[in-house]
Structure formats: structure tokens, C-alpha cells
């Protein structure tokens, strides 16, 4: 069904959270474009406003709820407006969100992204036809649906990079994490299906793909057999890297326990696999790691870092860290601080623990004060920022490879791209450079960005 309006309806989508959410938003955008909707950059221009939400931390939920509350006033001038929550918070809270946001028309969970266009059509049509008593208003759709991860394909044109979802869900059940509840159990797409998507992206000009999964490096462990001593994930890396036109392959987010010898070795022998690993550690204290149900020790994590650096010298390692997990003492935090100093991360996402409903950690004794969380967060940020800035400064005067992604967001007269180690670079160039991989010479560095000029382009 296509919406029949005298003017093209418009939609604004705001995304919170991880790359999985970014890709889900792209899928929804594609399905709405196919039905004649125009994507706009501002909620003030839109007929439909969708917030794709995150539930990993309380702050992300509160931001989305606060944003939706501020948007309600837009309906004073445009009563036909359709408001919707999508994604993880929608899945977790369901109809409960209508109590906090009574003006919302749609709540669609993580297994229903492929249904969003149908729901939006029905809602907007009812609004425009003034059928405000339509029994479908509002719509709450958070049920399970088999195969929903394959229902929409992302073939976005004019992009140098793309996300490719290879699996959904998680069976790990870390004590702090709500993802198994919002995304469901592990389920993998077939390699053939993934490869068909990557091949289509390559034909449209995409040069770099990032493989996505909640625990991406255990892809297919239940569905597909090993072959030649290689896990399904490493088999997939090899096949994706061999697709004509694909010059770079990344993946996120992995789990340390999924790094077996074959995956570490892949960094030494697959040139398209970039030298960057996002390797969540969460804590440097063995006692806290056990309470978190992470399945490894600090020593095992450090040995993994050593093996990755041996396999691919110069590899960049970034991480996730939680401070203030229930029961975390000063000595536990000191162990985390020591690990962070020893590894010397290229960057890190540091989060203050926030209780999530229906997770074991939320009921644990020894909840840490917000002031202690803030102090510990500040200490780690200072260490990581100094390490990151030093690594960028060390690149001044060197040549590095970049994939040009387009105009810089802060200076549209210059171009921007990322190095193989995932550093942001800004440089002079022409439109013909967009989508190309080439070397630049680094002239200077700020605390977060490289500034460079193309070399022999």
C-alpha cells in the first residue's frame, strides 16, 4: 500500500545508541522512501517523527523520553503529526511508554522494523482523514516474528561505507545487560544472504563494510559448522573480504571469549580486515568480571591484547568500560585503572553503571553512589584521552591510508575519512575523492582528529 497524498509525506528519524540501531534506522528509512516518503533533517519539517531508542543505559532512555516530550508541542500546529518509538526501549517497555508519552501513536519493537512502514501508512492516513477514533490508534507492536532480521535489506546508494547486520540477539546474559531481553536470543543470517547484500553494496560504490552483531564474533556457532579449522565467523570474514570492490572490512561488537586462534590469525593474513578491534573489557577486576558474568579474567584479556598486537603490529584497540558496578570497591577500580594504563587504549567508551530492569545486577547489594561513579569516570577519561591524543600526535609527519567518506561535518569545504585504525582525518580534496581509498600525509593533530593532505592522488 502506498500513501495517497497531494504532497509527499515527510519523515524524520532520530537514532540513539549503537551501530545496530543506526542500521535499523537506515532500513526503516529505505522502506519509507520506497513508499514515497521524503526524509528530512529536522523534526519541524516532518509529518512523521520516529525515535529509534536504546535501553543499554538509563540515560539513553531518559534522553529519548525527554525528546519525545518536547516534540509533543509540534502537534499544536500540525494535528496530523505521527509520533513513534522504535527499537530497544520500545521492545522493553511496550505499551507502558504510552503512559509517559500519551501523544505517541506507534511503539514498534526490535523484531518489527519491517512493519514500521505499514504502521506509519495506516496511522498517517487515519490522521489525514480525521479518523482519530480509529481502533488502530495507537499501535503497539513488540511481538516476536521469525526471520524479521532478513525482512528489509539495506542497499543505500552514494555511500562509501555501510553496516551489514549478520546476526541478531544474544545468549550471553551478562549481569548488567538488557540486550537479551530487547533483542532476543542469538540467530544468524546465512552466509549466502550476507554475501548477496555485500555484493550489492559493492556494486553501488561501497568500499568498506562493518559486520554487526550483539556478539558478532560468535556468529553462526550453533547454525553452521567449522570448515578447515575455521569458525563460521572467520569463514564469513574471508568470503566478505574477497568480494570485488570491498577494500576494508570491520566488525563490532565482539566479546573477548569469541577470539579464538583462527580469528586472531585472520588479522595476520586477511589484508582487507583493518587493524582495529573494539574489545570490551568492562572491568579490570577479576572479582567484578565474575559478578558481571563476563567469562574471562583480566590476565586473559591482557594476553588477548598481546596476541592481537603480535598478529597485526600497530593494531588499534578500543574498549568499553563500566565504572560503579554494584560492589565495586576502590581496590576493584584501582585494578581497572591499572589495566587501562597497561593496555594504552586508542579510545574507550566509559559508562557509569545504571540499573536496568530485569537484570541480575539491578538487584545486587552494594550499589555505588553517583558521586563515586562520577569520580571514577573522570579518572579513566583523563587516562584514555591522554593515550588517544598521544597516539594521534605520533602520526604527525607520517602517511596513512584513508577512505574518503565526504565533506567534513565541521568544515564542508574540506573532506573527511577514517584511517584503517579508525582515526578521523580531515583533508583537502575534490568531490572525485569521495569513496576512494588513498594515502594522506598527516600535518598536525588535535586531541581527536588528524589534519592531513592527500599524497599522489
**Cβ atoms 256, 307 nearer than 8 A:** no
What pLDDT does residue 280 have?
Answer: 97
Q: Based on the fold, state whether residues 300 and 385 are members of the same structural domain.
A: yes
Residue 195's alpha-carbon distances to 165, 189, 200, 204, 237, in angstroms, are 11, 10, 8, 14, 10
Q: Compute the distance between CA of residue 235 and CA of residue 251 in angstroms, rounded to an integer.
A: 14
Q: How distant is the alpha carbon of residue 402 from its chain centre?
A: 21
What pLDDT does residue 282 have?
Answer: 98
What pLDDT does residue 131 have?
Answer: 52
Question: For helices 330-343 and 298-311, what crossing angle results, to 10°?
Answer: 10
**Cβ atoms 183, 169 nearer than 8 A:** yes
Domain count, the chain: 3
What pLDDT does residue 456 have?
Answer: 60
Q: Find, among 95, 109, 113, 106, the residue nearest to 29 by Cα.
A: 113
59 within domain boundaries: yes
Could you tell me whether strands 106-108 and 424-427 are parallel, antiparallel, or unpaired per DSSP bridges? unpaired
Among the three residues 342, 376, 393, which one is the final residue of a domain in this structure?
Answer: 393
Task: Retrieve residue 457's grid coordinates.
Answer: 592522488
What pLDDT does residue 6 have?
Answer: 44
3 within domain boundaries: no
Q: Based on the fold, state whether residues 125 and 202 are members of the same structural domain.
A: no
Full residue range of the structural domain in which residue 50 is found:
10-141
Q: Based on the fold, state whether residues 380 and 424 are members of the same structural domain.
A: no
What pLDDT does residue 26 have?
Answer: 87
What pLDDT does residue 191 have?
Answer: 97
243 within domain boundaries: yes
Among the three residues 141, 164, 188, which one is the final residue of a domain in this structure?
Answer: 141
What's the pTM? 0.80
What pLDDT does residue 17 have?
Answer: 84
The torsion defined by the Cα of 83, 88, 90 and 92, in degrees rounded to 10, comes to -170
Instruction: Supply the CATH number for residue 311's domain.
Output: 3.80.30.20
Q: Based on the fold, state whether residues 268 and 192 are members of the same structural domain.
A: yes
What pLDDT does residue 81 have?
Answer: 92
Q: How many CA atoms lie within 13 A of 384 on its CB side?
A: 21
Q: Which residues of the chain have pLDDT under 50?
A: 1-6, 132, 134, 150-158, 457
Q: Compute the distance between CA of residue 67 and CA of residue 65 in angstroms, rounded to an integer.
A: 5
**Cβ atoms 364, 291 nearer than 8 A:** yes
Amino acid at each position: 500500500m502506498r500513501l495517497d497524498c497531494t504532497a509527499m509525506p515527510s519523515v524524520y528519524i532520530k537514532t540513539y545508541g549503537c551501530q545496530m540501531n543506526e542500521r535499523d534506522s537506515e532500513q526503516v528509512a529505505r522502506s519509507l522512501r520506497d513508499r514515497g516518503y521524503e526524509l528530512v533533517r529536522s523534526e519541524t519539517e516532518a509529518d512523521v517523527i520516529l525515535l529509534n531508542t536504546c535501553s543499554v543505559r538509563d540515560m539513553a532512555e531518559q534522553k529519548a523520553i525527554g525528546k519525545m516530550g518536547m516534540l509533543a508541542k509540534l502537534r499544536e500546529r500540525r494535528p496530523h503529526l505521527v509520533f513513534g518509538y522504535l527499537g530497544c526501549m520500545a521492545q522493553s517497555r511496550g505499551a507502558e511508554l504510552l503512559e509517559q508519552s500519551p501523544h505517541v501513536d506507534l511503539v514498534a519493537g526490535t523484531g518489527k522494523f519491517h512493519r514500521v512502514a505499514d504502521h506509519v501508512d495506516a496511522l498517517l492516513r487515519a490522521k489525514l482523514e480525521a479518523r482519530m477514533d480509529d481502533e488502530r490508534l495507537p499501535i503497539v507492536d513488540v511481538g516476536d516474528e521469525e526471520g524479521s532480521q532478513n525482512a528489509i535489506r539495506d542497499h543505500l546508494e552514494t555511500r562509501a561505507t555501510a553496516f551489514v547486520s549478520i546476526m541478531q540477539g544474544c545468549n550471553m546474559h551478562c549481569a548488567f545487560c538488557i540486550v537479551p531481553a530487547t533483542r532476543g536470543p542469538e540467530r544468524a543470517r546465512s552466509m549466502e544472504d550476507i554475501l548477496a547484500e555485500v555484493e550489492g553494496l559493492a556494486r553501488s560504490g561501497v568500499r568498506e563494510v562493518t559486520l554487526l552483531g550483539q556478539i558478532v564474533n560468535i556468529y553462526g556457532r550453533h547454525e553452521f559448522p567449522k570448515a578447515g579449522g575455521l569458525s563460521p565467523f572467520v569463514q564469513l570474514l574471508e568470503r566478505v573480504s574477497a568480494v570485488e570492490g570491498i577494500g576494508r572490512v570491520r566488525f563490532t561488537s565482539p566479546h573477548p571469549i569469541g577470539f579464538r586462534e583462527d580469528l586472531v590469525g585472520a588479522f595476520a593474513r586477511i589484508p582487507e580486515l583493518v587493524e582495529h578491534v573494539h574489545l570490551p573489557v568492562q572491568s579490570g577486576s577479576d572479582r567484578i568480571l565474575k559478578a558481571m558474568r563476563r567469562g574471562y579474567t583480566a590476565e586473559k584479556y591482557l594476553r588477548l591484547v598481546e596476541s592481537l598486537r603480535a598478529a597485526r603490529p600497530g593494531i588499534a584497540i578500543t574498549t568499553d568500560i563500566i565504572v560503579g558496578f554494584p560492589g565495586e570497591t576502590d581496590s576493584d577500580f584501582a585494578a581497572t585503572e591499572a589495566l587501562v594504563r597497561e593496555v594504552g587504549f586508542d579510545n574507550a567508551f566509559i559508562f557509569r553503571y545504571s540499573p536496568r530492569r530485569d537484570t541480575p545486577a539491578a538487584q545486587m547489594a552494594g550499589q555505588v553512589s553517583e558521586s563515586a561513579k562520577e569520580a571514577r569516570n573522570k579518572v579513566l577519561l583523563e587516562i584514555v584521552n591522554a593515550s588517544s591524543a598521544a597516539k594521534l600526535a605520533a602520526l604527525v609527519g607520517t602517511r596513512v591510508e584513508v577512505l574518503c567518506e565526504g565533506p567534513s561535518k565541521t568544515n564542508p569545504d574540506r573532506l573527511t575519512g577514517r584511517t584503517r585504525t579508525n582515526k578521523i582525518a580531515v583533508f583537502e580534496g575534490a568531490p572525485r575523492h569521495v569513496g576512494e581509498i588513498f594515502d594522506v600525509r598527516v600535518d598536525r593533530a588535535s586531541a581527536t582528529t588528524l589534519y592531513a593532505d592527500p599524497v599522489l592522488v
